[in-house]
Structure 1
Amino acid sequence: MTLNKLVKPIVIIANGKYPSHPYPIEMIDKAKTIICTDGSANKLKKHGFDPTLVIGDMDSIKNIRDFTKSEFIHIPRQDNTDLEKVFDYCMKYGIKEVSLLGATGIRDDLALANMILLIQYYNKLKIKMVTDIYTIECIKGKNTFASFPQQSISLMAVYRVKSVTTKGLKFSLKKQSMIPSGMGLSNLSTASRFTINTSGKLLLFRRHK
């Protein structure tokens, strides 16, 4: 697989719950490149799509011969997850931005681990995780997001962040420190956009319509 075959937009599908919300389904429809971990390739095939690439240790995929339109990258290492293997492969080929589907549901431990990966890869790869409920991203610095009134917004710190300031949210923060807790959960957007300025990394959850 060469870089010119990894056409944007690139969607990665992990082996969690297959999407059912219209937003992530539309992302699959519009994707130019779909990369699956080996287990998720089976689910994608059941929904009528062929992955561009299947990456992993190949311990979960069934009937490889059915995937005549797909390329397989076998990486046998067992000290990282198949999703990490996919991220590392994207970085190897200079990919800067991906969308991640199927990263939650089924196993809570993997769902949490996948969210932690958003933080771990923050400086290497821009990852937008999309579930049936939320778009989840790791953010740092000043960022403005398109929104709508009453959109549910949550911020989560996984370590202490010294300063968080928000604009356009019902419960505003001004140079507020945050620690891992529930203090940033269940906020609401008040307009068509909102801004967050944070000195450290936070997980941002934006609920779909």
Structure 2
Amino acid sequence: MGKALLFINGKPPIHLPSLQDYQLIACTDGAFHYLESKNFPLEQLDFVSGDFDSYAETPNIIHSEKFIHTPDQENTDFHKALEILIKKDATEVDVYGGSGGEQDHYLGNLNTAYRFFNKVKITFYDEYSRYFFIPNFYQECGVLGKTISLVPFPIAQNITTTGLHWPINQEDLDITTRIGTRNIADGNCFTCRYEKGALLVFISHKRNINFDKVNFQN
């Protein structure tokens, strides 16, 4: 099926991506509320999933043909929506609403993405950046001047980067001792290689406003 767009119940996105870029579009039941308020074209949703605990006053809504009731309380609505998307052959999922709101939800969303890391490519988007788990070797171009952060989950070993103002050379990161936030890409292309663990990369949408003032010769 290809690429999917998923809205979950965090901070509503300020801007929406082009819906034409996706073969599947879905949301969790909590996100359905803010999509309604934003006049989102609900007819383009392929499904809405969740336990529908936010629909206590209108319980019959779960019988709508696009609503998939997933009452399992062992997993989050985000987790269950990913399972449905994978069954529908999604290989990439862009997620909006993954951050903001209650921060325990945000941490839970990262944990869920980690659990699905080897099953589907998940990229979160918010108003500041996009972020995702990377494979043991990752390269991206067109990042000159953007803020790039490397966050181990919980550890990442023997990391080497290129294209960053403060490079990492065969070093370890550990969430309890050292992480790699607020770096800046001083090359058009950024690469990262690591051996073990898991690594989240955050890439800002915009160039760093102080980029032209940074002395990259130091």
Normalising by the smaller structure, the TM-score range is 0.7 to 0.9
Where in structure 1 are there 5+ consecutive unaligned residues? 1-6
Compute the displacement of 1:64 (Å): 7.7
Compute the displacement of 1:63 (Å): 5.4
Compute the displacement of 1:65 (Å): 7.7
Q: Deviations over 1:14-63 (max 9, x none)?
A: 0111101x4xx124564442211011112112222212210111112475
Instruction: Determine the C-alpha separation between the residues in 2 that align with 1:178 and 1:11.
Output: 31
2:169 is equivalent to residue 174 of structure 1:
yes
Instruction: Determine the C-alpha separation between the residues in 2 that align with 1:86 and 1:28.
Output: 18
Instruction: Determine the C-alpha separation between the residues in 1 that align with 2:89 and 2:22.
Output: 18
Compute the displacement of 1:186 (Å): 0.6
User: Is contact 1:38-1:54 (8 Å) kept?
Assistant: yes
User: Is contact 2:78-2:112 (8 Å) kept?
Assistant: no
Match of 2:109 among 111, 114, 123: 114
- Report the structure, 1 or 2, having the larger strand content: 2
Instruction: Determine the C-alpha separation between the residues in 2 that align with 1:148 and 1:125.
Output: 24
Structure 2 counterpart of 1:16? 10
Instruction: Determine the C-alpha separation between the residues in 2 that align with 1:175 and 1:65.
Output: 57
Instruction: Determine the C-alpha separation between the residues in 2 that align with 1:195 and 1:42.
Output: 39
Q: After the TM superposition, list the runs of 4 or more consecutive aligned residues in structure 1 that deviate by more than 6 angstroms.
A: 64-70
Amino acid at match of 1:119: Y
2:100 is equivalent to residue 105 of structure 1:
yes
Q: How does 1:1-209 map to 2 (within 5 A)?
A: 8-20=2-14, 22=15, 25-28=16-19, 30-49=21-40, 50=42, 51-61=45-55, 71-180=66-175, 181-199=177-195, 200-209=197-206
Instruction: Determine the C-alpha separation between the residues in 1 that align with 2:99 and 2:3.
Output: 21
Count of paired positions: 200
Larger Rg: 2
Among all aligned residue pairs of Structure 1 and Structure 2, give the percentage whose two residues are the same amino acid: 28
TM-score for the superposition, normalised by structure 2: 0.83
TM-score for the superposition, normalised by structure 1: 0.86
Q: Deviations over 1:133-184 (max 9, x none)?
A: 1111001211101233220000011223221000100110111111114430
